[in-house]
């Protein structure tokens, strides 16, 4: 499916239909696999898309004793046939079940990746993190190396939204190590996401071009949509709003899960900044209806921030303050920092320079601390426009550790033994020990217990 993603959906759909008269339970599981393939291929699926698969799954024969897979299928079928808002209760219920304590090891390995899909779909950060983390652990323990890079890619994205770029970088390095070992082209989104969130324009643009070409050739429609979203996010961070708008419009043209809503967020900001008020208002109407249905603080915070962009006066200010309040209660620090930035920009345009400086200084500090240097530079320019004196960000001091040394050090700091680290990275325990001795020497420490604090302060940017 990695190399010919567009062909898998109709094949699985055909198999599921044939199984209906033989084994209803197996047919329903195959419909779930077909939905997974359709999500992966998205608009590049050949002969059967998400709507067709959803309709077929919805019409699948029922079973006398529904299992987790059956309830998951029903939730996804509702989402694909009746729409996002109608599906929120069912998706929320099955997500709670997927991240609960009663899920079996077999179900964890087979179906928990859908938990990551649903967590992001519902804009609920904690279950998204829980589902994705647990899925990575299950795949690791099972030794399913062909599935592990994609699972790690998903977890990398979760940490990017939290602004934990050091953890995201370590995960991306681990995925690369595995891909090199098994000669797989998977796990390409982590490095792209890192470059975009860091505001590394040249690197990000090169990766966007490479990923778009490769994903299209492989029939990976979901990767195409995510790459366009990365393009929109990058351009918004750099203040290149017309280009961001065009990229975001490509994202929102599709009916895939999650990413089109991320695209709506970027589209609203870009449209508001380019004077395309009608486009922004239309996008907000769609986004607001869906995010308001989830009730999650992250969703409601982003909705308030997006609505503020198309509002004026006291209404806009109240919405910015509401967004900051809601997002402060979540771990999604990137969206919180962006809320401070947008509020500060709005205050400056209202000629409230003193108030603007307060918000923009907060945004500049948060964005720099998180490593979102494209957005941080945007905040710096806005601060200068208020009359404040702000020094450009100094060039980062490179970490003293190589990428592999830092990767091994982080695993050791998390409590993994040398054999456990070696198993993950395809290294002998002796080689791991040799790397750790170099880490101890470079950092001037004598035990693993000292690693976490030092890496937190010396993580590369």
CA angle 88, 89, 93 (to 5 degrees): 115
User: In three state form, how does the secondary structure of the chain look?
Assistant: CCCCHHHHHHHHHHHHHHHCCCCHHHHHHHHHHHHHHHHHHHHHCCCCCHHHHHHHHHCCCCCCCCCHHHHHHHHHHHHHHHCHHHHHHHHHHHHHHHCCCCCCHHHHHHHHHHHHHHHHHCCCHHHHHHHHHHHHHHHHHHCCCCCHHHHHHHHHHHHHHHCCHHHHHHHHHHHHHHHHHHCCCCCCHHHHHHHHHHCCHHHHHHHHHHHHHHHHHCCCHHHHHHHHHHHHHHHHHCCCHHHHHHHHHHHHCCCCCCHHHHHHHHHHHHHHHCCCHHHHHHHHHHHHHHHHHHCCHHHHHHHHHHHHHCCCHHHHHHHHHHHHHHHHCCCCHHHHHHHHHHHHHHHHHCCCHHHHHHHHHHHHHHHHHHCCHHHHHHHHHHHHHCCCCCCCCCCCCCCCCCHHHHHHHHHHHCCCCHHHHHHHHCCCHHHHHHHHHHHHHHHCCCCHHHHHHHHHHHCCC
pLDDT score of 184 more than 90: no
Could you please state the CATH topology (level 3) that the domain comprising 245-385 is classified under. Answer: 1.25.40
234 alpha carbon, distance to own chain's centre: 14
Nearest to 382, CA basis, from 348, 408, 338: 348
Confidence of residue 5 (pLDDT cuts 50, 70, 90): low
Handedness of CA 399, 400, 402, 407 (dihedral sign): negative
Which tokens sit at 314?
């006291």
CATH class of 403-458: mainly alpha
Arithmetic mean of pLDDT, 35-48: 87
Report how far residue 2's alpha carbon sits from residue 153's, in angstroms, rounded to the nearest whole number.
14
- The residue ranking higher by pLDDT, 193 or 401, is 193
Nearest to 302, CA basis, from 315, 312, 287, 318: 287
Report how far residue 407's alpha carbon sits from residue 426's, in angstroms, rounded to the nearest whole number.
13
Residue 220 · residue 39 · CB < 8 Å: no
Residue 64 · residue 95 · CB < 8 Å: no
Residues whose CB falls within 8 Å of the CB of residue 376, separated by 6 or more in sequence, listed in order: 199, 363, 364, 367, 368, 393
Confidence of residue 1 (pLDDT cuts 50, 70, 90): very low
Residues whose CB falls within 8 Å of the CB of residue 369, separated by 6 or more in sequence, listed in order: none
Confidence of residue 392 (pLDDT cuts 50, 70, 90): low
CA angle 365, 201, 333 (to 5 degrees): 35
Residue 75 · residue 87 · CB < 8 Å: yes
Q: At what angle do helices 259-273 and 241-252 cross, to 10 degrees?
A: 150
pLDDT score of 220 more than 80: yes
Q: Percent of the chain scored above 90 by pLDDT?
A: 69
Report how far residue 57's alpha carbon sits from residue 323's, in angstroms, rounded to the nearest whole number.
38
pLDDT score of 395 more than 60: no
Which tokens sit at 327?
């997002």
CB-count exposure of residue 418 (10 Å: 0-12, 13-18, 19+): buried
Domains 245-385 and 403-458 share a fold: no
End-to-end CA distance of the chain: 34
Condensed to tens digits (0 to 9), the pLDDT of residues 241-295 reads 999 999 999 999 998 888 999 999 999 999 999 999 999 999 999 999 999 999 9
Q: Percent of the chain scored above 70 by pLDDT?
A: 95
pLDDT at 423: 79
Condensed to tens digits (0 to 9), the pLDDT of residues 56-81 reads 999 999 999 999 999 999 999 999 99
List the chain domain ranges: 1-82, 245-385, 403-458
Condensed to tens digits (0 to 9), the pLDDT of residues 6-34 reads 688 889 999 999 999 899 999 999 999 99
Condensed to tens digits (0 to 9), the pLDDT of residues 89-107 reads 999 999 999 999 899 999 9
Report how far residue 214's alpha carbon sits from residue 5's, in angstroms, rounded to the nearest whole number.
12
Q: What is the largest CA-CA distance in the chain?
A: 74
Report how far residue 140's alpha carbon sits from residue 109's, in angstroms, rounded to the nearest whole number.
10
| Exposure string over 59-94, b if 16+ CB within 10 A, otherwise e | ebeeeeeeebbbebbbbbbbbbbeebeebbebbbeb
């Amino acid at each position: 499916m990695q190399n010919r993603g567009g062909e898998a959906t109709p094949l699985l759909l055909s198999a599921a239909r044939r199984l209906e008269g033989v084994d209803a339970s197996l047919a329903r599981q195959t419909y779930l696999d077909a939905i997974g393939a359709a999500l992966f291929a998205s608009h590049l699926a050949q002969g059967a898309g998400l709507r067709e698969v959803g309709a077929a799954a919805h019409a699948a024969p029922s079973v006398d004793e529904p299992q987790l897979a059956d309830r998951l299928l029903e939730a996804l079928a509702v989402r694909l046939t009746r729409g996002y808002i109608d599906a929120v209760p069912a998706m929320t219920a099955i997500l709670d079940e997927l991240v609960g304590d009663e899920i079996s090891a077999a179900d964890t390995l087979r179906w928990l990746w859908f938990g990551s899909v649903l967590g992001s779909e519902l804009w609920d950060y904690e279950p998204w993190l829980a589902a994705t983390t647990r899925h990575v652990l299950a795949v690791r323990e099972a030794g399913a190396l062909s599935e592990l890079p994609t699972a790690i890619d998903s977890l990398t994205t979760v940490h990017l939204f939290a602004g934990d770029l050091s953890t995201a970088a370590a995960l991306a390095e681990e995925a690369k190590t595995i891909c090199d070992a098994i000669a797989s082209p998977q796990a390409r989104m982590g490095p792209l996401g890192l470059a975009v969130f860091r505001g590394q324009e040249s690197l990000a643009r090169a990766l966007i071009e490479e990923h778009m070409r490769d994903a299209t050739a492989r029939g990976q429609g979901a990767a195409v949509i995510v790459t366009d979203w990365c393009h929109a996010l990058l351009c918004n961070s750099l203040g290149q709003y017309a280009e961001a708008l065009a990229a975001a419009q490509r994202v929102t043209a599709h009916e895939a899960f999650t990413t089109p809503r991320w695209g709506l967020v970027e589209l609203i900001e870009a449209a508001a900044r380019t004077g395309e008020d009608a486009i922004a208002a239309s996008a907000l109407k769609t986004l607001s209806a869906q995010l308001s249905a989830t009730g999650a603080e992250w969703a409601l915070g982003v909705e308030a921030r997006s609505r503020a962009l198309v509002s004026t006066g006291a209404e806009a200010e109240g919405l910015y303050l509401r967004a900051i309040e809601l997002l402060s209660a979540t771990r999604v620090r990137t969206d919180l920092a962006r809320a401070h930035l947008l509020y500060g920009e709005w205050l400056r345009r209202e000629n409230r320079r003193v108030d603007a400086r307060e918000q923009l200084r907060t945004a500049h500090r948060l964005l720099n601390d998180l490593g979102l240097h494209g957005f941080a530079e945007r905040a710096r320019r806005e601060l200068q426009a208020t009359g404040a004196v702000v020094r450009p960000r100094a060039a980062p001091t490179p970490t003293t550790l190589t990428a592999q040394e830092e990767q091994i050090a982080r695993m050791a700091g998390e409590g993994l033994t040398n054999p456990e680290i070696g198993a993950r990275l395809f290294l002998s325990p002796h080689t791991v020990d040799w790397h750790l001795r170099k880490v101890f020497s470079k950092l001037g420490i004598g035990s693993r217990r000292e690693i976490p604090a030092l890496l937190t302060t010396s993580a590369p940017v």
